């Protein structure tokens, strides 16, 4: 359990290493149709919570949201959802202005506190998806 959670943390914090540079995308990925380089700027992370741990999980993420709101001006949004089909499955959708904002998020005290708390609340490893922004309104 700790190894997959640690792997997710390493993935999410990967921008904090190497001078806050995002990892290189696979060949052909990470560019727009015009050929311009796109910026990895969003994550969708799905969590499966152990039965009976919903209240503790929700409290932990609401504390995380408060920390993001108060200390991360480079965060565009950090939205917290529960799925309609399964009340044990939650999703976080988060977006950042740039690699520096992702680095700040990855090094935050509120983030470290959250990951320490999650160990006892999750029923399996989180599923993280990194998105590359191509266009926005």
Are the C-beta atoms of 25 and 15 separated by less than 8 Å? no
pLDDT in tens, 4-28: 444 444 444 443 333 333 444 444 4
What integer best gives the mean pLDDT of the chain? 79
Top pLDDT among 137 and 32 is at 137
According to the CATH classification, is domain 2-15+39-131 in 3.40.50.360?
Answer: no
- CA 85, 86, 87, 93 dihedral sign is negative
pLDDT in tens, 35-67: 545 566 899 999 999 999 999 999 999 999 999
pLDDT in tens, 66-75: 999 999 999 9
Band (112; pLDDT cuts 50, 70, 90): very high
Please state the pTM of the whole predicted model: 0.72
pLDDT in tens, 91-107: 999 999 988 999 999 99
* Integer Cα distance of 71 and 30 in angstroms: 28
Are the C-beta atoms of 135 and 17 separated by less than 8 Å? no
């Amino acid at each position: 359990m700790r190894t997959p959670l640690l792997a997710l943390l390493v993935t999410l914090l990967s921008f904090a290493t190497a001078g806050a540079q995002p990892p290189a995308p696979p060949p052909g990925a990470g560019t727009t149709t015009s050929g311009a380089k796109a910026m990895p700027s969003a994550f969708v992370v799905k969590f499966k919570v152990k039965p009976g741990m919903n209240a503790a999980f929700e409290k932990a993420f609401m504390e995380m949201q408060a920390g993001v709101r108060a200390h991360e001006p480079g965060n565009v949004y950090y939205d917290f959802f529960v799925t309609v089909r399964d009340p044990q499955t939650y999703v976080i959708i988060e977006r950042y202005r740039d690699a520096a904002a992702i680095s700040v998020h990855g090094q935050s005290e509120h983030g470290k506190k959250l990951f320490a708390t999650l160990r006892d609340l999750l029923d399996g490893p989180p599923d993280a998806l990194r998105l590359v922004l191509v266009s926005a309104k």
